[in-house]
Structure 1
């Protein structure tokens, strides 16, 4: 199935009508962001330590001297090898690997993984990730264990949680989805409101190919090796 074919004048008229809705959507998003900036904040325990590349790391140190911290949580399936790790988390983190522009605005970016550091460290190396990863394995602290994308503000020695989101809120980390939304067939997922006959995949298999999250194949083709007693 394909869209209806029309002359250019008709297409431009239809495009202009949609543009009005797109601009309204953009303005609505700006208004929501303005409200988000006005949310109150809640203090979190600054004595919490996460395990990172340098061992136990105080929460203050994860800020790396900046005033703001944005973290993305990554699930971890113990003993499942590299190929068995979460396809959604892989897509999320793979789509955002460089925090240069965040850092330019005083925001540090890090990944908080639910597995033990010693187990996921080889996976981080295999995937070629350069942003810091920390283990939240066994940590159940309000404001630390909640949310999948969470933001914090450091004020002197005090640390505050300012925002969190999960579910489809994590799509902000996945520009590939927004780009697919611009294409005629969209994401091709079963929940989308598409014309009858449009391709849709109920299994969301586009996240995985031949038993692996798709980004892993780029690493294998580049020569990265799977290592680690519990991961490979």
Structure 2
């Protein structure tokens, strides 16, 4: 058993101490978000991406809204569904139509960019049952390129110009993965080797559990077909 067993009174006291630290973290996060909202922005050159209906300018990806969040999904050209990125699949699994609707209510469009062919990436989106718009950047300028995917970028649109306002990568995209936030609340945490955990908690390499029996975990909600 990983933790000490104590009386309810002692547990309440320990929980109160931790709650004070959690509130400090919340206030620090609020201050960081305020600074993020004041980050300088940089103009985007005119660029196009390829959507389901052909080539469109970046302004059209906003779908008439003022703000745009773009996730860059790592793509493995020509690979079957089960060989696509488990990390990017994990991040997209929580981006339901309802979540996108809430974003839209605050004048924000959510979209996904991938460097692969549009027919392949749309086939994967449909296989997963996702509804967010996806676009191919295969023929786009380098300004839309990323290291290899997994980046998150934010844009603002005016009448005649698009500005990039923010970007993040690596653990910065964890806001999209509520499964990780919820695991952080449990006694065992994420059970990954980088964590400071009690000695008897079994640990594995970060992200190693995002794939099971040859498929990204989320795919098993769509099929029961085994893979080699």
**Distance in 2 of aligned mates of 1:131 and 1:159:** 21
2:83 paired residue number: 84
CA offset digits 1:48-101 (Å, max 9, x no partner): 110111110111110000111111110011122100000100000112123011
**Distance in 1 of aligned mates of 2:95 and 2:195:** 24
For the pair 1:116 / 2:117, whether they are aligned, the reply is: yes
What 5-or-longer segments of structure 1 have no aligned partner?
A: 224-232
1:32 paired residue number: 32
2:131 paired residue number: 130
**Distance in 1 of aligned mates of 2:48 and 2:141:** 12
1:141 paired residue number: 142
What 5-or-longer segments of structure 2 have no aligned partner?
A: none
**Distance in 2 of aligned mates of 1:129 and 1:218:** 12
Match runs of 1:191-206 below 5 Å:
191-202=194-205, 204-206=207-209
SS in 2 for 1:153: strand
CA offset digits 1:29-53 (Å, max 9, x no partner): 00000000001100001x3110111
SS in 2 for 1:220: coil
For the pair 1:44 / 2:10, whether they are aligned, the reply is: no
**Distance in 1 of aligned mates of 2:207 and 2:176:** 18
SS in 2 for 1:191: coil
SS in 1 for 2:36: helix
Deviation beyond 6 Å, 4+ runs, structure 1: none
For the pair 1:107 / 2:88, whether they are aligned, the reply is: no
Match runs of 1:149-168 below 5 Å:
149-168=152-171
Match runs of 1:178-217 below 5 Å:
178-202=181-205, 204-217=207-220
CA offset digits 1:173-195 (Å, max 9, x no partner): 10110000000000000001112
Question: Across the two proteins, how many residue pairs are aligned to each other?
Answer: 220
TM-score by length of 2: 0.92
Across the aligned residues of Structure 1 and Structure 2, the Cα RMSD in angstroms comes to 1.4
For the pair 1:11 / 2:11, whether they are aligned, the reply is: yes
SS in 2 for 1:69: strand
**Distance in 2 of aligned mates of 1:80 and 1:27:** 44
